[in-house]
Amino acid sequence: MADLFPRTGTILIADACFRESGRLDALGCPILWVTASEQEKTLATVERLITQLLERQADRDTFLIGVGGGITTDITGFTAAIYKRGLRFGLVPTTLLAQVDAAIGGKNGVNFDRYKNMVGTFRQAEFVYIDTDFLQTLPPRELRCGAAEMLKTFLLADARAYEEAVRVFQGPQPVQMPERLVRRAAEIKYSLVEQDPEDHGVRQLLNLGHTFGHAIEKCSTQYEHGEAVAIGIVMAARMACEKGLMRPEEAQRIRADFVSVGLPVEPPVPEEQLRAAILQDKKRSGSTLKFVLPETIGHARLWEESVTA
């Protein structure tokens, strides 16, 4: 990893989980530590980081590297985008969720009033360094959260990879994650991002499960992001059946697959309670809200729904 960047002028923003291990000390760079939690993914945390950058006299030639899960990489990208009108940065995602989703694509942001990623930017990292060795130390729940995003990606574009991933996550814990599946998920996401860097068209397919999932995260702290997305995907499949876009047996298969790999499939609050949060979704445009609905395993489509407060 050290070969990817110059030692001079590089500052790491790293998940505090690495602090006691000393794994990053050998890189010889200043390290700014962050607590990787949704509660800390805020403007206040970014302000603290900016204060620390100023104290270290970071200038526009400073190179930031975010090391950690999706929360850390999001915070790093956002801080890099706004400090002195923009710094170069790279990312080293260390969780499965970050490696297949959060660290890829240039979306950076923080939460506001518990609304997910309500404040953010588009700014691409100069590199995303993925090392699946990091996954060997992840607890089972972290792997399952990543599984939700990986399965989501394969539901969009690769039925065969979806089936293989389900088999892998049904296996004994801890999961030995095949590198080819991580690479394939990253390739699919990168392809959609390359076609639509600023999320105006085909890239929006990556939001499968997220409209419902973000509402769940707003209304409850019971589930991690990946778990909320898993529930959101099951809800989206059910909605697709109601719209006549998906056969009920396919929706039932997705639900059963998610249960089999240990993911939750039922919202923790009544669906009526999710409605107010869904109406505040950042993808809403006037009275129209965009959903991503699966049609088959391996294909999904955008669906616009008129909504009222």
Q: Which of 135, 153, 178 is the last residue of a domain?
A: 135
Q: Residues 146, 216: one domain?
A: yes
Q: Residues 20, 90: one domain?
A: yes
By C-alpha distance, which of 103, 95, 81, 80 is closest to 11? 80
Q: Which of 112, 135, 158 is the last residue of a domain?
A: 135
**Tokens of residue 122, six digits:** 């588009």
Q: Which of 93, 112, 135 is the last residue of a domain?
A: 135
Say if residues 301 and 292 touch (Cβ distance below 8 Å). Answer: yes
Q: Residues 238, 109: one domain?
A: no
In CATH, what number is assigned to the domain containing residue 41? 3.40.50.1970
pLDDT at position 5 over 70? no
**Which stretches of 243-270 are DSSP H helices?**
248-260
Q: Report residue 4's pLDDT band, with 50, 70 and 90 as the boundaries.
A: low
pLDDT at position 25 over 90? no
Amino acid 283: pLDDT: 67
Q: Residues 55, 168: one domain?
A: no
40-90 pLDDT, tens digit per residue, is 999 999 999 999 999 999 999 999 999 999 999 999 999 999 999 999 999
Q: Residues 270, 221: one domain?
A: yes
pLDDT at position 32 over 60? yes
Amino acid 249: pLDDT: 98
Mean pLDDT score of the chain: 93
By C-alpha distance, which of 102, 114, 112 is closest to 220? 114
Number of domains comprising the chain: 2
Say if residues 41 and 68 touch (Cβ distance below 8 Å). Answer: no
**Domain span holding position 54:** 2-135
Start-to-end Cα distance in the chain: 49
When pLDDT is averaged across residues 153-159 and rounded to a whole number, the result is 98
